[in-house]
Amino acid sequence: MNARFWLSLVQQQGVIAVVRTSRFEQGIQMAKAVATGGIQLIEVTWNSDRAPDMIAQLRAELPHCWIGAGTLLTLTQQQQAIAVGAQFLFTPHVDIEMIKAAAEQEIPLVAGALSPTEIVQAWQAGAASVKVFPIEVMGGVTYIQALHAPLGNIPLIPTGGITIENTPAFLQAGAIAVGLSSDLFPRIALSQGNWDAISLRTQLLVQRVESIRLELTH
């Protein structure tokens, strides 16, 4: 997947579901629930239980989705993720070596950054887009608006505090997409294994994203 296709895909989808769990089977069900609800971009964090196995299994069982690896901290972890089939990569930081290695293999890497300097460094190094993290503690939508004015040419994906309720505001502020984790997967639903409830929440989110996309293109 080259960078141009990645940007087109992310703009079309508008949302990435982030699966983070200490229980392997729960992670599989979480991913399937959001896929049923209409999300096709699913990130499995590397600190989840048996993350490599989870990515490989989801690649096989959800062929209509794109499965990525997140919270990658080292080049070794990145290569392991690619080896098990990760189709895109997320890091919480800017690592020039990791960005360039991913670009050479034509695997989209979204580098985590916070300040304008970090964001520009990641983009110039070849990141497919830039994850603005953690967004909530920096002022949320207001911070994205402030960044978008001078850095509108850089595709930004805010994460950390994104909810179904505030997703439309982030997209309207200039984010190319958002990453959601805890708000998609309420603790009660997880503890009860209520996957239908998670699918319904996902459907609501997808509908809101689609309506915003229509507004922004007209």
The tens digit of pLDDT for each residue in 76-118 reads: 999 999 999 999 999 999 999 999 999 999 999 999 999 999 9
* Whether the predicted pLDDT of 158 surpasses 90: yes
Q: Could you identify the residue written with the tokens 């293999």? A: 105
Q: Which residue blocks in 63-161 are alpha helix, DSSP H? A: 75-83, 96-104, 116-125, 141-151
Bridge partner list, 73: none
Angstrom distance (rounded) from CA 12 to CA 75: 29
- In this predicted structure, what is the pLDDT of residue 155? 97
Angstrom distance (rounded) from CA 180 to CA 19: 9
The average pLDDT across 110-133 equals 97
Given CA atoms 75, 78, 82, 83 in this order, what sign does their dihedral have?
positive
Q: Is 93 helix (H, G, I), strand (E, B) or coil?
A: coil
Q: Cβ(185)–Cβ(198) under 8 Å?
A: yes
Give CA separation, 137 vs 25, 160, 189, in Å. 32, 8, 26
Here the tokens at position 78 are 């990145």
Nearest to 201 by CA among 147, 169, 163: 163
- In this predicted structure, what is the pLDDT of residue 211? 92
Angstrom distance (rounded) from CA 60 to CA 197: 24
Q: Could you identify the residue written with the tokens 């290569």? A: 79
| pLDDT tier at 214, thresholds 50, 70, 90 | confident
- Taking 3-state DSSP, the helix, strand and coil percentages for the chain, each rounded to the nearest 5, stand at 50, 15, 35
Q: How far is Cα of residue 96 from the mean position of the Cα atoms in its chain?
A: 20
CATH number for the 3-212 domain, one of 1.10.3720.10, 3.20.20.70, 3.40.50.720, 3.30.450.20? Answer: 3.20.20.70
Q: How many CA atoms lie within 13 A of 192 on its CB side?
A: 10
The average pLDDT across 10-14 equals 95
Domain layout of the chain by residue ranges: 3-212
- In this predicted structure, what is the pLDDT of residue 99? 98
* Whether the predicted pLDDT of 183 surpasses 80: yes
Each residue's pLDDT tens digit, 163-180: 999 999 999 999 999 999
* Whether the predicted pLDDT of 4 surpasses 90: no
Each residue's pLDDT tens digit, 54-81: 999 999 999 999 999 999 999 999 999 9
Task: Give the number of other CB atoms < 10 A from CB of residue 151.
Answer: 17
